[in-house]
DNA sequence: AATCGCTGCAACCGCACCAGT
DNA sequence: CACTGGTGCGGTTGCAGCGAT
């Protein structure tokens, strides 16, 4: 027996909102607020809409101070850094970007930002059209696609983030220990993710779940590595660099000594895509969150 | 001008969580 | 403790618009 529907589907309008409906909803909420009950709201407001639909419309479109339009570089960096640290927890990410909604950020990530990160063909050294739009996703088993893309994105988001925050000669923390070495204290979000603390970095009032650091993500793939890019504008370029190491030690980045290693990136992609075929992404995330918690306990 | 394919965005769906009973 | 209803979230889909052919 399935769950009872939240509303009478037959008598509920679906699809795009008309200006009249928007006006009704806005007027009602302006006058009476949401009343803490979205299910009852549409009836009171005289709308033939599902409560969930009203809530979504309000939160994503009608709410005051909603910011539409282009994302700034700074917003890009915040999204990348948070994605690298906590994954696709859009509501948490949205909480860090005033005026942006989780849906907005999710769409932006899926349609634009991910392209910046994924649109890199390691074999040809050229930018290619990535498999990123929903219309293509049908061709790939969901599980496989999600694991592959999310992990690659995660790794490369880390790269983007690192490139934005660290000078070229920064020594990175070890993934084995997760203890940061020479991270400047001013690196806000990244240092939060690189830290072993589950409560640091992200504002406690907006983030209550455990974090998964970028280091953790790499560890997931049984592959210790750091990546670094020299282009500091948040754009993946031909100068992208991947530095890999397998001894868990800190890694010193040097432009002279670390030529672009495309094969390593390909290896990582392969490794990730094969490693997670049998691994549910949610369960592995949970597992690593637990491990993170454990590490925190050990560390303190 | 017509058609096709791609993109971006708004909205929907289903599930998990939580509080109340 | 189990059940139920409401809410929030992330993933997915539908579709209009646009550019290429």
Q: Where are the domains of chain A?
A: 19-62, 73-118
Give the closest residue to C14 (Cα–C1′): A15
The DSSP result for chain A, as a single string, is -PPPPSS-GGG---SSPPHHHHHHHHHHHHHH--TT-TTTHHHHHT--S-HHHHHHHIIIIISTT---SPPPHHHHHHHHHHHHHH-S-HHHHHHTSTT--HHHHHHHIIIIIHHHHH--BTTTTB----S-SHHHHTTS-HHHHHHHHHHHHHHHHHHHHHHHH--TTPBPPPTTT---SS--TT-HHHHHHHSS-SSSSS-TTT--SPP--HHHHHHHTT--EEEEES-TTS---TTEEEEE-SS----B--TTT----HHHHHHHHHHHHHHTTTS-HHHHHHHHHHHHHHHHHHH-
| pLDDT of amino acid A292 | 36
In angstroms, the CA of A12 and the C1' of B12 are apart by 12
Per-residue pLDDT in tens (0 to 9) along chain A, 300 residues: 445 566 776 678 888 888 888 888 888 888 888 877 888 888 888 888 888 888 888 888 888 888 877 888 888 888 888 887 788 788 888 888 888 888 888 888 888 887 776 554 333 333 334 334 444 433 333 333 334 444 444 454 555 444 444 433 333 333 333 333 333 333 333 333 333 333 333 333 333 333 333 333 333 333 332 333 333 333 333 323 332 333 333 333 333 333 333 333 343 334 333 333 333 333 333 344 333 333 333 333
In angstroms, the CA of A16 and the C1' of C19 are apart by 25
Give the closest residue to B11 (Cα–C1′): A15
| pLDDT of amino acid A13 | 86
Nucleotide nearest to A136 (CA to C1'): B6
Phi, psi for residue A228 in degrees, rounded to 5? -155, 140
| pLDDT of amino acid A92 | 84
| pLDDT of amino acid A6 | 67
| pLDDT of amino acid A59 | 86
Separation of alpha carbons A287 and A300, rounded Å: 20
In angstroms, the CA of A26 and the C1' of C1 are apart by 42
| pLDDT of amino acid A118 | 57
Instruction: Using a 7 A cutoff on CB, list residues near strand B.
Output: A 3, 13-17, 49-50, 52-53, 56-57, 60-61, 68, 103-104, 106-108, 111-112, 115, 129, 133-135
The DSSP result for A132-189, as a single string, is -SHHHHTTS-HHHHHHHHHHHHHHHHHHHHHHHH--TTPBPPPTTT---SS--TT-HH
In angstroms, the CA of A3 and the C1' of C1 are apart by 20
Nucleotide nearest to A129 (CA to C1'): B6
CB-neighbour burial class of residue A44 (10 A; exposed 0-12, middle 13-18, buried 19+): exposed
Instruction: Using a 7 A cutoff on CB, list residues near strand C.
Output: A 4, 6, 15, 34, 36-40, 51-52, 55-56, 88-92, 102-103, 106-107, 110, 134-135, 137-138, 142, 146, 150
In angstroms, the CA of A195 and the C1' of C13 are apart by 38
Cα angle at A96 between A92 and A100, to 5 degrees? 90
Nucleotide nearest to A4 (CA to C1'): C5
CATH code for A73-118? 1.10.10.60
In angstroms, the CA of A6 and the C1' of C5 are apart by 9
């Amino acid at each position: 027996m399935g769950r009872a529907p939240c509303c009478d589907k037959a008598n509920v309008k679906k699809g795009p909102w008309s200006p009249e409906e928007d006006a009704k909803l806005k007027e009602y909420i302006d006058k009476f607020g949401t009343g803490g009950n979205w299910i009852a709201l549409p009836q009171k407001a005289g709308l033939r809409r599902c409560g969930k639909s009203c809530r979504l419309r309000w939160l994503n479109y009608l709410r005051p101070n909603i910011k539409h339009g282009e994302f700034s570089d700074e917003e890009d960096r915040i999204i990348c850094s948070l994605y690298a640290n906590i994954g696709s927890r859009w509501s948490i990410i949205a909480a860090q970007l005033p005026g942006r909604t989780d849906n907005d950020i999710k769409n932006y990530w899926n349609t634009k930002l991910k392209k910046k990160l994924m649109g890199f063909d390691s074999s040809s050294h050229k930018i290619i059209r990535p498999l990123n739009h929903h219309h293509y996703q049908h061709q790939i088993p969901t599980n496989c696609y999600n694991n592959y893309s999310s992990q690659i994105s995660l790794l490369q988001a880390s790269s983007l983030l690192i490139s934005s925050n660290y000078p070229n000669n920064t020594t990175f923390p070890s993934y084995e220990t997760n203890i940061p070495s020479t991270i400047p204290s001013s690196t806000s979000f990244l240092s939060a993710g690189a830290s072993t603390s589950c409560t640091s970095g992200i504002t406690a009032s907006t983030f209550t779940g455990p974090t998964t650091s970028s280091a953790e993500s790499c560890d997931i793939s049984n592959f210790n590595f750091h990546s670094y890019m020299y282009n500091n504008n948040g754009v993946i370029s031909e100068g992208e660099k991947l530095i890999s190491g397998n001894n868990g030690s800190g890694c010193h980045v040097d432009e002279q000594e670390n030529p672009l290693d495309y094969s390593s990136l390909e290896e990582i992609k392969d490794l990730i895509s094969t490693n997670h075929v049998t691994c549910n992404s949610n369960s592995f995330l949970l597992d690593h969150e637990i491990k993170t918690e454990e590490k925190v306990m050990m560390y303190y």
